[in-house]
Amino acid sequence: MGCGALKFGSFTLKSGRTSPYFFNAGLLSSGPILAVLSEAYAGTIVAAQQPSDSNISPLPSFDVLFGPAYKGIPFAASTALTLHTAHSISVGFAYNRKEAKDHGEGGSIVGVPLNGQKVVILDDVMTAGTAVREAIELVRKEGGEVVGVVQCLDREEVGKDGVSSTTKEVEELIGGRVKAILRMRDLIEWLAREGRTAEVGAMREYREKYGLKD
């Protein structure tokens, strides 16, 4: 909220849903903020790779972080750096061009070639999963295998069928893990602690309509 990346009001999302809050990851654009964000992404990845007592499989080892253009580009680059410096994990990173280049080396992918690589996609926020599905298709088209997705914010909403978890839908699509740094419930808890009653009410009403019932 300090940099304006999280706003409250009325916003039409890419999914077509009207939301009482909006997360603009493009405003996470200063050195200090990127340092904290990359640490959070890297920490979430490392934690997801640890075995647990549940039946959920850990995030497997992977080769490449993929940051969908444009917002995902600095996230992939800074997180690859943090994984190396803070966790001694060496991975490459890649991102896509919005329009394929028709000169020089050509193509639509910049960075590590994806063919034959295990890939983790870094996403900013997932609602109905529209954008991440596009990223998955793009990686597959380049010959990569998506083994996981890590989001900055999981809105914890139902998917396109209005019933299933978007996260579960994407996990079934890739046969891998989907993790998040923050969830909608974390935002609601924070707003409640801050005494922001109006925002809490709007968030809970929205969650009742579109939220995952668990």
**Beta carbons of 24 and 152 less than 8 angstroms apart:** no
Taking only the tens place, the pLDDT of each residue in 174-204 is 998 999 999 999 999 999 999 999 999 999 9
pTM: 0.88
Q: Is 195 exposed, middle or buried (0-12, 13-18, 19+ CB in 10 A)?
A: exposed
Q: What value does the mean pLDDT of the chain take?
A: 90
- Per-residue confidence band for 42, with pLDDT thresholds at 50, 70 and 90: very high
Q: Is 190 helix (H, G, I), strand (E, B) or coil?
A: helix
Distance (Å, whole) CA 36 – CA 45:
14
Distance (Å, whole) CA 205 – CA 199:
10
Residue 103 pLDDT > 60: no
Q: Tokens at residue 148, please?
A: 């996981």
Q: Is 127 helix (H, G, I), strand (E, B) or coil?
A: coil
Distance (Å, whole) CA 121 – CA 75:
10
**Beta carbons of 39 and 152 less than 8 angstroms apart:** no
Q: Is 142 helix (H, G, I), strand (E, B) or coil?
A: coil
Taking only the tens place, the pLDDT of each residue in 132-154 is 999 999 999 999 999 999 999 99
Q: Is 103 a catalytic residue?
A: yes
The residues pairing with 18 across neighbouring beta strands, listed in sequence order, are: 12
**Beta carbons of 205 and 197 less than 8 angstroms apart:** no
- Long-range contacts at 14-17 (CB < 8 A, ≥ 24 apart): 14/127, 14/128, 14/130, 14/131, 15/127, 15/128, 15/130, 17/127, 17/128, 17/157, 17/210
Tell me the residue length of the chain: 214
Q: Is 160 helix (H, G, I), strand (E, B) or coil?
A: coil
Which of 84, 101, 141, 160 is labelled catalytic? 101
Taking only the tens place, the pLDDT of each residue in 57-89 is 889 999 999 999 988 999 999 999 999 999 999
